[in-house]
Structure 1
Amino acid sequence: MKFKEEIDRRRTFAIISHPDAGKTTLTEKLLLFGGAIQVAGAVKSNKIKKTATSDFMEIEKQRGISVATSVMGFDYKDLKVNILDTPGHQDFAEDTFRTLTAVDSVIVVIDVAKGVEIQTEKLVKVCKMRDTPIIVFINKLDRVGKDAFDLMDEIEQKLGLSVMPLSWPIGMGNEFQGVYNIYEKKLMLFRAHGKQSEEESLEFTDLSDPLLEEYVGARAAKTLREEVEMVTEIYPEFNREEYLEGLLTPVFFGSAINNFGVKELLDCFVEVAPSPTNSETEEREISPYEENFTGFVFKIHANIDPKHRNRIAFVKICSGKFERNKNYQHIRLGRALKFSNPTSFMASKKEIVDEAFPGDIVGLHDSGNFKIGDALSEGESLKFKGIPSFSPEQFKYIENADPMKAKQLNKGIDQLMDEGVAQLFVNLRNGRKIIGTVGALQFDVIQHRLKHEYNASCRWEPINLHKACWFTSDNKEQLANFDNYRVRLIAEDKYKRRVFLTTSEYEIRMEQQNFPDIKFHYTSEFD
């Protein structure tokens, strides 16, 4: 297959939502309909013993939540589909925000009963800033929820999206009978607790056909006709170009847990979603069709296989063809690296790939060479833009709970910090280690992973801190004075950069006045 054709057949997207909207369940069912798995797992279920494919970490299986982005690829209708299932919980938003830099479109999952929730608003705001094309999937139609028109209004008002329903529900909860697929002019009938099949898809180009009453009953048929007529009058016709520009948002209805509405979503998605798009660097814009390889690291996962203690850097291919055992330039380190075992993913399951194309995500075994945001190329010096870095807002001292396992604890902390969702600070005065995170739940995850992946025990001790501020200055005298004046609150991060650990916003303002030649930075990405 030609290079251009390989690129054009890629579809790389993220699934995002507020926690418990059904994001991971939808991912699982997309994999099922895509033929990538034979049995769909469950995020939370007493009956289904198989856990979700994307929730492969032990803590995810136990808690029924996603705490790390999973990458899954499969072929569907001669297309290569790459799904990135992201954490929904706000305490893991940093991982999700970075993942959004590596995708070309997104599917937003909304719970029909809860409507638009706060985390969904935050994530969609990031997508809109990037003009990322969005499709909305309204989930859990087998439960009683909000009126479909009210949901359309809520999506437009809270998310600022211009919506176009491409399917429409016939009842909900106990009265849910299916959806009318406006995009394909088909009637999809719902069978409770049964797997949706092709036979339940009926061609229905004319809703005035009396046969509709036979399938859904007179009352439901009358309501459906009236509502679809209102949809066609109120909302604009679907225009793919407007969708690709982020100006129009298609909306689908379904029930992921019941396999309903998922195949229609997938079929439409692969048809209209964008193939790989241009990437922004500080130097120039990169087209995926360029011959020379470029890519960047958007995620690092430590200990992805606990049996082998390996660490994987996730690289988004932006242009050219990536080839196994070929030398590529690591821009930050300024040296050539060769990768003998690049991998593709089905969550934690990996297989070695000989080549990869723009839109693909490859995993590179990492012995400590990579940081989030690192660029690889065939020699051109590039720095990719838009990869976010966050200042920690939660802090705790980390202490060794088992003196016999100090080595394991230090190794675990070192590797987990490289993932970029938590940061380590060492107080220069007393040498105590402080972990900073964006959300409190991260501390539970770190403690659990240290115990189960590194056989190390830790305990947390409270510390009253407000923010971490990195600081720089060309005025060496002021730096020395500041070090002496604030020695109790000065630490170093993992890369030996000085950090001012403040206890209040007022304290920061005072130091900015007292030391005018010192620059304070709320994130570590300032060089």
Structure 2
Amino acid sequence: MPTLRPTLNLGILAHVDAGKTSLTERLLLSAGVIDVLGSVDSGSTQTDSLELERRRGITIKSAVVSFTVHTPAGDTVVNLIDTPGHPDFIAEVERVLGVLDGVVLVVSAVEGVQAQTRVLFRTVRRLGLPVIVFVNKTDRAGADVPAVLAQIRARLGAPVVPMPVGDCAVDVLTGQDDDLLTAFVDGSLSDAMVQGSLRRQSRAGTVLAAYAGSAITGDGVDALLAALPGLLPSRCPAVDAPLSGVVFKVERGGNGEKIAYTQILAGCLRVRDRIPVRGADAKVTAIQVFDDGTAVPRNSVEAGRIAKVWGLTDVRIGDAIGEYRATMGQLFAPPTLETVVVPDAADRTAVHTALTQLAEQDPLINLRQDDVRGELYLSLYGEVQKEVIQTTLTEQYGVAVTFRETTMICAERVVGVGAAVEHIYRNPFLATVGLRVEPGTPGSGVTVRLDVPVETMPLFVYKAVDVFRDALEQTVRETLQQGLRGWRVEDVVVTLTDCDYNSPGTTAGDYRKLVPMVLMEALRQAGTVVCEPVHRLTIEGPADTLSAVLRLLAQHGAVPYAPVPAGPAFELTADVPAAEVHAVQQRLPAVTRGEGVLEAEFDHYRPLRGRAPERARTDLNPLHRKEYLLHVLRRV
């Protein structure tokens, strides 16, 4: 079976209000898939389809649209994914990055490199994704393209080649291309050699080609569109390979059915196919493929395309389709804020159902239910996200809620070494489990190790040790979501030190039920300290407002570092508790005459001084042996 046309999965990334969605709209017009240019202000764009997005004028959910770029070298199908620019919706960006081949980073010609620009660029660099820059809003008063390109070089630390290619491009390109440098020195340099080096280095992500123009007027957009297939790497997936794909977005249809946004990397997926999803077969009932600006019903979707798939009832974001095995991990810091949802008494069940569906679309909101108090908890990146959730619940689900004051999500760190063991016949389960807990290195998360001889393991374990380790790790991670004081335990090493069984009666369930009890006792022996999340702020402002900024930071518990003078301005970094970031952001314009610029990013956890706050548990504490066993045995 022949291969398909080359495809390019393209992400449009930017700080909020840089013109990302307007550029997407203009690209669609230039590609011929729409006849009339939509407007963010009027709410008529293709990708901002939610009423809430149109009303607020911001992108909240990622959106997919497909078009074809025609070049003398052939056609390339571009699957373009528009992403949110507001930092409160960074989780939506994270889910998209894993399916991209390249990125267009939009930077305002007036505001220049902004806080979210830097966060996004560092992340795509870490992933090795090639980037093209589009300096937007050149039609606006105050636009300064050379100054913005200088900012990109200085603040992003990236070599930039202004387009169209000029003399200065050779200086940039020869710095990383010895053959080009040799040709330059011996006088044999040609335009074709320069263009070839630019294509190679751009696709490899070592230089940034920078276009400038206006998404509103269309200036520069045609040139950007034509350059996409040459400057970013496309793929030629074969349909005769085994099925492989990944689900990167989940939403609900008008009848409440799940719709899985799926990238097909290889093979072909057809209506009525049965595929494994979370341990059970699911039947594909319908497919829509993104093609020429819209999603059209099809009986199948081939490699290289992105489709909406119906029928995968239990599917979640990140699930594999077929033989897909790659994993991206978490790219951005988890949410550091939390709120309690308070529904009207009559709407309690409806609110839980609605929030469960929202958690399917955004797993990082981490919906938790306290069965004892009847309370629901949500994790957040910021106040705007909370407002959007509240509005969505009211308008989309018809339920009214209020939120309690946003608080920090703390963490617990192990301070010593602890060990515990539960022997077979001395507990209700046909198993022995011994665990040791000790501190891990900062940023290491949860590490699980096996330190027992295989002969102490049941037959079903040592024939599949990797499966057992994965199951053990999953149970350990779930248990450590609530430590001694109710907070998630970070940076810890858990080692299985003892294991026994009673053949043939012992099952995997015996270990799953016993591990939480042993783990929490080992944790109690080790001890923990509660830590608060700390954000690193970078603030720029007029030099004469530095004293006022320092006073503002002191009022919110920040620890500033030495400011760096920059002519008539200053740059300052400071560590501030996550709970205070929003207040600093709100008050900064007043003390800097509206000229202050702030970038905030999670940096680390630090031990809290004074009495450590406790978080109400949402389950029965395995440390309370009798209650835990009664609960588990009743459930069995």
Question: Could you state the TM-score of these two structures normalised by the residue count of structure 1?
Answer: 0.72
Residue number in structure 2 paired with 1:26:
23
Question: In 2 relative to 1, CA 114–476 (structure 1 residues): closer, same or farther, beyond 3 Å?
Answer: farther
- How far apart, in 2, do the equivalents of 1:230 and 1:132 lie? 24
1:389-440 Cα offsets, whole Å, 9 max, x none, are 7532111110113x34334322211100111241211235523111112222
* Counterpart amino acid of residue 347 in structure 2: K
Q: CA deviation at 1:118?
A: 1.3
- How far apart, in 2, do the equivalents of 1:105 and 1:111 lie? 20
- How far apart, in 1, do the equivalents of 2:413 and 2:298 lie? 40
Residue number in structure 1 paired with 2:327:
384
8 A Cα contact 2:123 2:331, kept in partner: no
Secondary structure at the counterpart of residue 257 of structure 1 = coil
- How far apart, in 1, do the equivalents of 2:381 and 2:95 lie? 14
8 A Cα contact 1:464 1:503, kept in partner: no
8 A Cα contact 1:137 1:253, kept in partner: yes
Residue number in structure 2 paired with 1:300:
250
- How far apart, in 2, do the equivalents of 1:38 and 1:389 lie? 38
* Counterpart amino acid of residue 47 in structure 2: S
Aligned match for 1:408, one of 347, 350, 354: 350
Question: In 2 relative to 1, CA 464–348 (structure 1 residues): closer, same or farther, beyond 3 Å?
Answer: farther
- How far apart, in 2, do the equivalents of 1:338 and 1:474 lie? 46
1:474-509 Cα offsets, whole Å, 9 max, x none, are 9577999x9xxxxxxxxxx9x986632899999979
Aligned match for 2:286, one of 321, 335, 341: 341
Q: CA deviation at 1:385?
A: 3.4
Question: In 2 relative to 1, CA 290–100 (structure 1 residues): closer, same or farther, beyond 3 Å?
Answer: farther
Matched, 1:276 2:235: yes
Secondary structure at the counterpart of residue 250 of structure 1 = strand
- How far apart, in 2, do the equivalents of 1:356 and 1:154 lie? 43
Matched, 1:431 2:392: no
- How far apart, in 2, do the equivalents of 1:130 and 1:142 lie? 33
Matched, 1:266 2:225: yes
- How far apart, in 1, do the equivalents of 2:292 and 2:90 lie? 19
Alignment of structure 1 residues 35-74 onto 2, 5 Å:
35-44=32-41, 49=42, 51-74=44-67
Q: CA deviation at 1:515?
A: 4.3
- How far apart, in 2, do the equivalents of 1:299 and 1:444 lie? 22
Question: In 2 relative to 1, CA 72–520 (structure 1 residues): closer, same or farther, beyond 3 Å?
Answer: farther
Question: In 2 relative to 1, CA 315–389 (structure 1 residues): closer, same or farther, beyond 3 Å?
Answer: farther
Matched, 1:448 2:407: no
Question: In 2 relative to 1, CA 24–82 (structure 1 residues): closer, same or farther, beyond 3 Å?
Answer: same
Aligned match for 1:319, one of 266, 270, 280: 266
Matched, 1:499 2:481: yes
Residue number in structure 1 paired with 2:526:
516
8 A Cα contact 2:337 2:407, kept in partner: no
Alignment of structure 1 residues 234-249 onto 2, 5 Å:
237-238=194-195, 239=197, 240-249=199-208
* Counterpart amino acid of residue 63 in structure 1: R
Secondary structure at the counterpart of residue 161 of structure 1 = coil
1:148-167 Cα offsets, whole Å, 9 max, x none, are 33322221222222211123
Matched, 1:131 2:128: yes
* Counterpart amino acid of residue 59 in structure 2: S
8 A Cα contact 1:56 1:347, kept in partner: no
Aligned match for 1:458, one of 401, 413, 425: 401
8 A Cα contact 1:468 1:499, kept in partner: no
Alignment of structure 1 residues 60-459 onto 2, 5 Å:
60-77=53-70, 78-145=75-142, 147-167=144-164, 182=165, 228-230=166-168, 237-238=194-195, 239=197, 240-276=199-235, 291-301=241-251, 303=252, 305=253, 307-330=254-277, 333-345=278-290, 350-365=295-310, 368-377=313-322, 380=323, 382=325, 384-386=327-329, 388=331, 390-401=333-344, 403-419=345-361, 420-427=363-370, 429-459=372-402
Segments of 5+ residues of structure 1 without an aligned counterpart are 168-181, 183-227, 278-286, 483-492, 523-527
* Counterpart amino acid of residue 85 in structure 2: G
* RMSD over aligned Cα atoms: 3.8
1:501-521 Cα offsets, whole Å, 9 max, x none, are 899999979999854399999
Secondary structure at the counterpart of residue 102 of structure 1 = coil
Aligned identity (percent) is 25
- How far apart, in 2, do the equivalents of 1:356 and 1:520 lie? 50
Q: CA deviation at 1:127?
A: 1.0
8 A Cα contact 2:25 2:38, kept in partner: yes
- How far apart, in 2, do the equivalents of 1:85 and 1:320 lie? 26
Question: In 2 relative to 1, CA 27–56 (structure 1 residues): closer, same or farther, beyond 3 Å?
Answer: same
8 A Cα contact 2:246 2:320, kept in partner: yes
8 A Cα contact 1:92 1:421, kept in partner: no
Q: CA deviation at 1:84?
A: 0.2
Secondary structure at the counterpart of residue 286 of structure 2 = coil
Q: CA deviation at 1:309?
A: 3.0
Q: CA deviation at 1:322?
A: 2.5
- How far apart, in 2, do the equivalents of 1:338 and 1:39 lie? 39
Higher relative contact order at CA 8 Å, sep ≥6: structure 1 or structure 2?
Answer: 1
Segments of 5+ residues of structure 2 without an aligned counterpart are 175-193, 423-432, 438-474, 493-519, 534-636
1:36-68 Cα offsets, whole Å, 9 max, x none, are 111121112xxxx45211100111010000011
8 A Cα contact 1:71 1:346, kept in partner: no
8 A Cα contact 1:276 1:358, kept in partner: no
Moved more, 138-147 or 117-126: 138-147
* Counterpart amino acid of residue 394 in structure 2: K
Moved more, 442-451 or 347-356: 347-356
Q: CA deviation at 1:336?
A: 2.6
1:316-345 Cα offsets, whole Å, 9 max, x none, are 222222233222232xx2233221212224
1:8-39 Cα offsets, whole Å, 9 max, x none, are 42121100000010000000111111111111
* Counterpart amino acid of residue 499 in structure 1: Q
- How far apart, in 2, do the equivalents of 1:161 and 1:9 lie? 28
- How far apart, in 1, do the equivalents of 2:20 and 2:47 lie? 10
- How far apart, in 2, do the equivalents of 1:517 and 1:312 lie? 45
Residue number in structure 1 paired with 2:14:
17
Secondary structure at the counterpart of residue 462 of structure 1 = coil
Moved more, 457-466 or 98-107: 457-466
Corresponding residue pairs, total:
426
8 A Cα contact 2:7 2:234, kept in partner: yes
8 A Cα contact 1:88 1:119, kept in partner: yes
1:147-198 Cα offsets, whole Å, 9 max, x none, are 433322221222222211123xxxxxxxxxxxxxx4xxxxxxxxxxxxxxxx
